[in-house]
Structure 1
Amino acid sequence: MKLASLKEGGRDGSLIVVSRDLGRAVRVPSIALTLQRALEDWDNTAPRLNAAFEALQGGASLVEGQAAFTLETHSLAAPLPRAYEFVDGSAYLPHVDRVRRARGATVPESFYVDPLMYHAVGAGFYGPNDPVLVPDEAFGIDLEAEVVVVTDDVPMGVNAVDAAQHIQLIGLINDVSLRNLIPDELAKGFGFLQSKPRSTLSPVFVSPDELGEAWLDSKVHLPLLSHINGEWFGAPEAGEDMQFSFAQLIAHAARTRPLVAGSIVGSGTVANQDEGRGASCLAEKRMLEIIRDGKPSTPFMRFGDRVRIEMLDRSGASIFGAIDQVMQKSG
């Protein structure tokens, strides 16, 4: 099934069920008013949401007493407009390796057995067509195309095998970074704050079964496409070179605390050893330029630049819809 949220009904939006082709949708207030509410009672709401999805797929004009309507992505908030928890990993070590090589460092052996992860901004997410608001271009605006999963309630100390059963939904994210603010923040030894503003979620989240054979071993085995100003930027395979699966990332996050229903866990910037597949962030491209030429030649984004992030199935159909947004000066 595919789920989204309309920009109505308050801060958490209004939950809707969306057809597989992303063309039609229906409100389901008799099941749950918001996606967060649905996730908190997932054992009861998931079967009913799936039944509504199947009815919509079957062409029903009335589902759960509500009229189906044509979906306009500009009317969408993020599927989860705010989340109690958003933790972001860095599971693609080719990305980590290039960033470190550019400054003459290597990847520590511990990175291959102990995931990198930080606590990200979950208090608010942009909708898929909302502009990214930034005070100053000089902050170094960068995209980061990633895959995310959403959990139900995860117990503290869960192992990776059991953690896989807590993955209920999958989506995409543009985890925006302000690169020129990162060095000073990391130098303090206390992590990201100002350098990590709000991120943007894909139009819909989908249940794992929607991915079919592309969902294997708690990884998504499909290319993640990125375009900047209409030009192809990258299409790395999300299932390759992912050192830690989503199940392993969840187990890592829940080692000393439970995760509540509606928690979002990010993969980190998708990257492959094969550089010919392009990149998912400008920083990585700039690092490759430094390694090759001694200095970067690709600038960070400017106000008015447009980013598009999308994932297609093997037949070429959009799975999550597209994140399609511009960079805009705040205020």
Structure 2
Amino acid sequence: MKLASLKHRRDGKLILVSRDLSQAVDASDIAFTLQDALDEWATLSPLLQARYDALNANTVSGRFVFDPNQCASPLPRAYQWADGSAYVNHVELVRKARGADMPESFWTDPLMYQGMSDKFIGPCENIELCDESWGCDFEAEVAVITDDTPMAASVSDASTHIKLLMLVNDVSLRNLIPGELAKGFGFFQSKPASSFSPVAVTPDELGDSWQSSKVHLPLHVQLNGDTFGAPNAGVDMTFDFSELIAHAAKSRPLSAGTIIGSGTVSNLDRSKGSCCIAERRMLEILDLGAPKTPFLLYGDKVSIEMHDKEGRSIFGRIEQTVVPYQIAEQGK
């Protein structure tokens, strides 16, 4: 299935989207929001699947043209958003960029932080930035959404709790990170709102590209219309999604609607490009002695998309422009 949330109040209104992303149909009579569907997934997913099949067969009434610009993120807000760093070679490069060594344990024990989840940016909404000097960066990732997952779930059990997948732009403010981490208490100001693809999909939509809890397809990133990178999300992923979920659930249960991110997709094969500016800047330092690619500036446009083996968009496109944040006047 492919599901999306039309903009409606805080939590959106659930729709089903055709496999080719051209048509959609209302699903709010089955579950008004995606969170409602996840809360009762075992009961409601068969009903959603039946309507999705009818949508693709052109046998359901009420179809309309799908417009990603009318969409919020599939979960406009979530009870939990935990982002891992599954591509450890990326972690090593980015830490080098800020002069930090990487412990050997990072190859065996996943990194994870809990990000802002009370409001996500829509897939076609602007990235509002207060200050260009903060070093705004995109991070292209894959994420999964779980159903209720018990505490201490094993890796093998964790795989059964993966219900949906999305793409992510995990926005980072690189120049705020070192000062925050120096306090020894983790990210906060340096990790503002993230955004997700217009559509969330069930794993079966990926066919044999979904194996061993990994997505074995390139993740395409463009900056201002130029290709920035297309590393394969299934290559060099040190920790798969089942391992990330088990790590998150070690000491706590995960409620339905928990989002777990992969971290920035990265391949050791540098010809595939990068999924964030920080990684490219580090490679420039290694090759040229200094970085030359600036972090995001006002007016810059970022797009993130993944295609199936036939070249068709799977999740739709994250497409965003960086703009100055305008402080709203009181009472307006």
TM-score between both structures, scaled by the size of structure 1: 0.97
Q: Which residue of 1 aligns with 2:37?
A: 38
User: Please, which runs of 5 or more residues in structure 2 have no aligned partner?
Assistant: 327-332
Instruction: Answer yes or no: is the 8 Å Cα contact 1:173–1:202 preserved in 2.
Output: yes
Instruction: Answer yes or no: is the 8 Å Cα contact 1:179–1:195 preserved in 2.
Output: yes
Deviation of 1:323 (Å): 0.1
Structure 1 residue identity aligned to 2:241: F
What is the SS of the residue equivalent to 2:72?
coil
Structure 1 residue identity aligned to 2:169: N
Structure 1 residue identity aligned to 2:273: G
Structure 1 residue identity aligned to 2:301: R
Q: Which residue of 2 aligns with 1:295?
A: 290
2:239 to 201, 222, 244: 244
Instruction: Answer yes or no: is the 8 Å Cα contact 2:220–2:231 preserved in 1.
Output: yes
Deviation of 1:244 (Å): 0.3
Structure 2 residue identity aligned to 1:197: P
What is the SS of the residue equivalent to 1:259?
coil
Q: Which residue of 2 aligns with 1:120?
A: 115
The alignment status of 1:217 with 2:212, answered yes or no, reads: yes
Q: Aligned runs of 1:98-137 on 2, under 5 Å?
A: 98-102=93-97, 106-137=101-132
Q: Which residue of 2 aligns with 1:256?
A: 251
What is the SS of the residue equivalent to 1:111?
helix
Aligned residues: 326
Structure 2 residue identity aligned to 1:264: I
Q: Aligned runs of 1:14-93 on 2, under 5 Å?
A: 14-62=13-61, 67-93=62-88
For residues 189 and 27 of structure 1, do their structure 2 counterparts lie closer, same or farther at Cα, with a shift above 3 Å needed? same
What is the SS of the residue equivalent to 2:278?
helix
Deviation of 1:134 (Å): 1.1
1:309 to 296, 304, 308: 304
In structure 2, distance between residues paired with 1:116 and 1:209 = 28
Instruction: Answer yes or no: is the 8 Å Cα contact 2:136–2:297 preserved in 1.
Output: yes
For residues 328 and 104 of structure 1, do their structure 2 counterparts lie closer, same or farther at Cα, with a shift above 3 Å needed? closer
Q: Write out per-residue CA displacement over residues 100-123 of structure 1, whole angstroms, 9 at most, x where no aligned residue.
A: 344565532211110000111111
Structure 2 residue identity aligned to 1:2: K
In structure 2, distance between residues paired with 1:225 and 1:241 = 16
Q: Write out per-residue CA displacement over residues 34-68 of structure 1, whole angstroms, 9 at most, x where no aligned residue.
A: 00000000001111111111000001241xxxx11
Q: Which residue of 1 aligns with 2:7?
A: 7
Q: Write out per-residue CA displacement over residues 69-113 of structure 1, whole angstroms, 9 at most, x where no aligned residue.
A: 111111111100000000000000110122234456553221111
User: Please, which runs of 5 or more residues in structure 1 have no aligned partner?
Assistant: none
For residues 276 and 99 of structure 1, do their structure 2 counterparts lie closer, same or farther at Cα, with a shift above 3 Å needed? same
In structure 2, distance between residues paired with 1:288 and 1:194 = 26
Instruction: Answer yes or no: is the 8 Å Cα contact 2:132–2:296 preserved in 1.
Output: yes
Q: Which residue of 2 aligns with 1:144?
A: 139
What is the SS of the residue equivalent to 2:222?
strand
Structure 1 residue identity aligned to 2:240: S
Q: Aligned runs of 1:133-212 on 2, under 5 Å?
A: 133-212=128-207
Instruction: Answer yes or no: is the 8 Å Cα contact 2:3–2:15 preserved in 1.
Output: yes
For residues 102 and 138 of structure 1, do their structure 2 counterparts lie closer, same or farther at Cα, with a shift above 3 Å needed? closer
Instruction: Answer yes or no: is the 8 Å Cα contact 1:101–1:291 preserved in 2.
Output: no
The alignment status of 1:233 with 2:228, answered yes or no, reads: yes
